[in-house]
Amino acid sequence: MNLLMSQPTSILQQQAQTALEQHEYSQAAFLYEQLMEQESETIQHAWYLGLARLLSGLEAEAQFTWMMALSAAEPEQAETWTAELVQILQTAAEQQESEENWQMAWAIRQHIHEIASADLHNLLRLVQLAVKLNLFNGDYLESLELTPLLKSQAWPDLDKALLLQTMLVALEHQFEDPRTKDLAEAALRQDLDHSRAVNFILPKAIGFSHRNLAFSADLAIYLVEICLRYEPENLDALKSLGGLYESAGRYAEAIDTARRGLAASRTPEEQMTAIGFLAVRLLKTGSCWDEVRALFEQQKTLMSQVISDYEYKHDEPLDTALLTFCSFYSYYLSDNPAIHRPLQNRMATLLQADLRLQAKHVFESKPRPIAPGIKTERKLKIGYIARYMQQHPVGYIARWLMKHHDYDNFDIYTYHLHVKDVSEFTNQWFVKPVTRSAKFEDGSWAGIAKHIGENDEIDILIDLDSITYTEACNVMALKPAPVQVTWMGFDASGIPAVDYYLADPYVLPESAQEYYSEKIWRLPNTYLAVDGFEVGVPTLRRDLLGIPADAVIYLSSQDGRKRHPEMIRLQLRVLRELPNSYLLIKGLGDAASLQQAFEQMAESEGVAADRLRFLGRDLNEPIHRANLSIADVILDTYPYNGATTTLETLWMGVPLVTRVGQQWAARNSYTMMMNVGVTEGIAWTDEEYVEWAVRLGKDAALRHDIHIRLLQSRQTAPLWNTRQFAREMENAYTQMWQKYLDG
């Protein structure tokens, strides 16, 4: 007699359940077979027997077990028995999912689908599992018949969070397939809580926008547009959508969205930020300067109102975008730092005060107890904080300093903001060489300050981004390091907690200290240096552009925001005075509007439009640099000069004409030319700019001489000697620290 047959069924059932829980599936199946023999009327034994067989890999046997049992059901039993089986399988699938056994979880849910094809919860989970197993596509989605089911009626009891999550997962992996978008639209027709839907979708959309994939940008736009269906005046969504449209080259839509953002803004703070977003997008058209000037005047009035009416509100912190979008675009309008910078300093002071009150419960800077006059023999801890330590102008330049730092005498830390995974470029230049590196994906700025100040105890913290990225300003405002410095990314922020702004003898005039809140620290030669650039194979040719071999080619390669109308007219005057010349126009911006602006001005200046060539973006940075060599002369912009583009021009040995002004943005090319020993092309007035451009265009011998000198400067000039520059920077840090110790 079988000993198991003599066991009470309660004991057998307990043993079977234990075997199932301990993943002893063959033993569990054997025990459930015994139970079925003893209690054939207990249908649950069949459900568990089939499950045990499925888990042990006997899928056909499992399916046969369930089908045979269900076929024996009376009509009034069928629905109840099916529901029981589905519930058992649902629990098993959830257990497999908790253990990340995705393949088995998917197999179980496939069987649930065969038994109960209209189980929406199961269908949604199947989509997510199919994505994990790389099985998901439009055909699979269609086979589930999920979309028609969602369209068929309202499902009030459906888990809406699961629905939205599944929608996003499906879109992320198959956005190009219209059937996936059809699923999304069906899901959105369910009765969703609009606020919860927006709060769920918008952060995901922003996350997708940070990926360097074309479909990710399109997906992000689609998702933000969904958010605006529900909340048409959501300012965060409008800002995000405007940026996404701009990145996609859809400038008219970007401007329209920015106008919607301004119209939806209610408070002076919101209006100031919205004006900044709109102004930046208008500048890229090259044809809206009068409107931008009017917006700037409106913004100055609002700024005074915000400052005079400020009242600390714990639940309504000031938006630090006020500093970014209310400061930097004025540099494109005019060369008036004595007017612009005091306004920026006032706003930065207010923002710092608000930031410190907001962060008080997380981090509050405390002076280190160091007695005056004490010298330290330990290695200084130098920290660099930025978002753009990557393939970006900041990264291309700062990488050389990381390479040449004296790691025997300095500990170097890098702090990467809004970064999930560092790129190979970042890892090579900013992670591997340094003493320690930390990345912060979505951490609070107060938490980052605490990490820098309390965990790492950084001595000198350097902001590489300045107001190009406000989170760095937020951290600097909390003063996590005793000495704080702004270098390179953009003009100084005006944050009072920043002690020094790194400059050189040329990039700022002597009078600049009158309107900077930071102490200007002048390095002996140059405020930046590089060891060179990667150069690819050129793709531009004169014959392909329809330009004669003996013609003079001028090139202006700058962002559309720098296309000041007065400078466009000066460049067209150069063409008028040198008939056998052409102008190549290249750079980011609203290409159609910029072309129209140039052609309209060319007509008014008496220059034929066929002497203009408008170039698209190059495939990559090395090819962009190689293509600079097609130019005989590069024409710089004003009041905002080139920076990285000027470095690249000089490295390639191409003569440059620049107009020097008073503000930092109008003196970058000047300091770089001084630091390679070339003064030909430096203009202090509009007339000199035209004169130099014409002279260089006519004098091929002078151009050749400059070309040779620029190539020779690679071996001698401070601009190309980062090893020397690193020693000068370290010497500055050492002196700054000693000043701090001396009180």
What is the rounded CA–CA span in Å between residue 286 and residue 598? 8
pLDDT tens per residue, range 85-143: 999 999 999 999 999 999 999 999 999 999 999 999 999 999 999 999 999 999 999 99
Residues, the chain: 743
Q: In this model, does residue 612 exceed pLDDT 50? A: yes
Give the pLDDT of residue 300: 87
What is the rounded CA–CA span in Å between residue 468 and residue 97? 43
Give the pLDDT of residue 2: 47
Residues 294 and 342 in one domain: yes
Give the pLDDT of residue 7: 58
pLDDT tens per residue, range 680-720: 999 999 999 999 999 999 999 999 999 999 999 999 999 99
User: Cα separations (Å) of 226 from 178, 216, 395, 636?
Assistant: 16, 15, 35, 42
Confidence of residue 16 (pLDDT cuts 50, 70, 90): confident
Q: In this model, does residue 195 exceed pLDDT 50? A: yes
Residues 553 and 498 in one domain: no
Q: Answer whether residue 743 is part of any domain.
A: no
Residues 45 and 169 in one domain: yes
What is the rounded CA–CA span in Å between residue 94 and residue 288? 58
CB 656 within 8 A of CB 634: yes
pLDDT tens per residue, range 353-370: 999 999 988 888 887 766
Looking at residues 532-553, what average pLDDT do you find?
96
Residues 196 and 65 in one domain: yes
Which range (290-294, 335-339, 369-373, 602-606) has the least confidence? 369-373
Give the pLDDT of residue 1: 38
What is the rounded CA–CA span in Å between residue 683 and residue 692? 7
Q: Answer whether residue 176 is part of any domain.
A: yes
Give the pLDDT of residue 671: 98
Confidence of residue 211 (pLDDT cuts 50, 70, 90): low
What is the rounded CA–CA span in Å between residue 193 and residue 196? 5
Give the pLDDT of residue 321: 79
Confidence of residue 721 (pLDDT cuts 50, 70, 90): very high
CB 96 within 8 A of CB 55: no
Range of the domain at 502: 380-522
CB 496 within 8 A of CB 348: yes
User: Cα separations (Å) of 390 from 374, 452, 533?
Assistant: 38, 21, 15
Residues 53 and 201 in one domain: yes
Q: Look-up: residue for tokens 């199947």?
A: 126
Three-class HEC string of 357-386: HHHCCCCCCCCCCCCCCCCCCCCEEEEEEE
Q: What is the CATH number of the domain that holds 705?
A: 3.40.50.2000
Q: At what angle do helices 289-308 and 268-283 cross, to 10 degrees?
A: 160
Residues 336 and 405 in one domain: no
Q: Answer whether residue 243 is part of any domain.
A: no
Residues 342 and 442 in one domain: no
Q: In this model, does residue 270 exceed pLDDT 80? A: yes
Among candidate residues 346, 365, 472, the one with its CA nearest the CA of residue 415: 472
Q: Answer whether residue 252 is part of any domain.
A: no
pLDDT tens per residue, range 550-591: 999 999 999 888 999 999 999 999 999 999 999 999 987 788
The gap between the terminal CA atoms of the chain, to the nearest Å, is 96
Q: Answer whether residue 733 is part of any domain.
A: no
Domain total for the chain? 4
Among candidate residues 621, 628, 659, 617, the one with its CA nearest the CA of residue 642: 659
Q: What is the CATH number of the domain that holds 445?
A: 3.40.50.11380
Residues 345 and 427 in one domain: no
Among candidate residues 406, 300, 297, the one with its CA nearest the CA of residue 729: 406
What is the rounded CA–CA span in Å between residue 315 and residue 326? 23
Q: Answer whether residue 535 is part of any domain.
A: no
Looking at residues 658-666, what average pLDDT do you find?
97
Residues 598 and 680 in one domain: yes
Q: In this model, does residue 373 exceed pLDDT 60? A: no
How many Cβ atoms from other residues are within 10 Å of residue 129's Cβ? 23
- Specify the pTM: 0.84
Q: In this model, does residue 212 exceed pLDDT 60? A: no
User: Cα separations (Å) of 463 from 272, 479, 548, 625?
Assistant: 25, 12, 47, 27
Among candidate residues 661, 739, 738, 664, the one with its CA nearest the CA of residue 513: 664
Among candidate residues 629, 656, 653, 652, the one with its CA nearest the CA of residue 642: 656
- The per-residue b/e assignment along 456-467, b for 16 or more CB within 10 angstroms, e otherwise, is bebbbbbbbbbb
Q: Look-up: residue for tokens 């004409």?
A: 657
CB 645 within 8 A of CB 631: no
Q: Answer whether residue 256 is part of any domain.
A: no
List residues bridging with 263 in a β-sheet: none
Amino acid identity, position 49: L
Residues 77 and 216 in one domain: yes
Residues 299 and 416 in one domain: no
pLDDT tens per residue, range 631-651: 999 999 999 999 999 999 999
Q: In this model, does residue 407 exceed pLDDT 90? A: yes
- Collapsed DSSP state (helix, strand, coil) of residue 285: coil
pLDDT tens per residue, range 214-232: 568 899 999 999 999 999 9
Q: Answer whether residue 581 is part of any domain.
A: yes
Residues 182 and 147 in one domain: yes
Q: Look-up: residue for tokens 């809580």?
A: 193
Chain-centroid distance, C-alpha 184: 26
